[in-house]
A = this chain, B = another copy of it.
Amino acid sequence: MTNPPRPNGVRHGARGQARREEIVRAAMEVIAERGYRGASLAAVAEKVGLTQQGLLHYFPSKEDLLIAVLTMRDQWDRGDRVADGEPMSIEQTVGVVEANAHRPAIIRTFSALLGESVTEDHPAEPYFRERYARVRRQMAATLRGRWGDRLPSGLTPEEAAPLVVAIMDGLQYQWLHDPESIDMPASFRAFLRLVDPEAAA
């Protein structure tokens, strides 16, 4: 995680870093329960045994904590799968969907924040707008890497990229509501069979 200089004595070093991650995880839990607007710094502080004042040493505002939550999710997605800036392969993308199916808590937090982010003046709005633009660009590169300038169906990578992203987001809501009925990795592979009926992904 980038650790820019911050006001009022933000804790650094390995121990500070571990503490920050612990706080971010607690924030994810609170957001999954109540959404971001409904989340309080007091509730996060209580989960990690800090006073609210103590929490502010690590994250000077609720918005800073929100950004840390969103950034950490992206890091987990990429994990050690792929170097920064490199597009994932199709197989790595399937790997993300498989990993997601084993982390409902994170997916719940993220899906709740995505929903909230379309409400008025939400602090996560710029993050999601920029993230989508970036993820669509990376996904187009992924598709081009596999199929070149035309997918088997005739679509361009740029036409197909928003569809891949939409499938991933959309399946998450159906799965969170009904995990017995929705098998995310199987559904995502079914989608890839639409993209390329010849290739079993």
Contacts and interface: CB of A to CB of B under 8 A. Distances in A.
Copies of chain A in the complex: 2
A111 interface: yes
Interface residues of A, number: 53
Given A116-B116, A128-B177, A168-B170, 5 more contacts: A32-B118, A118-B173, A166-B166, A166-B170, A194-B194
Interface string A112-136: 1111111110000100110011001
A153 B152 CA distance: 11
A115 B172 CA distance: 11
21 contacts: A32-B118, A35-B35, A35-B115, A108-B118, A112-B118, A118-B173, A118-B176, A129-B177, A129-B178, A136-B174, A136-B181, A154-B197, A159-B187, A159-B190, A163-B167, A165-B174, A166-B166, A166-B169, A166-B170, A167-B170, A168-B170
Contacts of A113: 115
A50 to B, nearest CB: 23
Contact of A162 (B117, B120, B171, B194): B171
Give the interface SS of chain A, mostly helix, strand, loop or mixed.
helix
Interface of A: 32-35, 37-38, 108, 111-120, 125, 128-129, 132-133, 136, 151-155, 159-160, 162-163, 165-171, 173-174, 176-178, 181-182, 187, 190-191, 193-195, 197
Given A120-B34, A133-B178, A153 B197 contact: yes
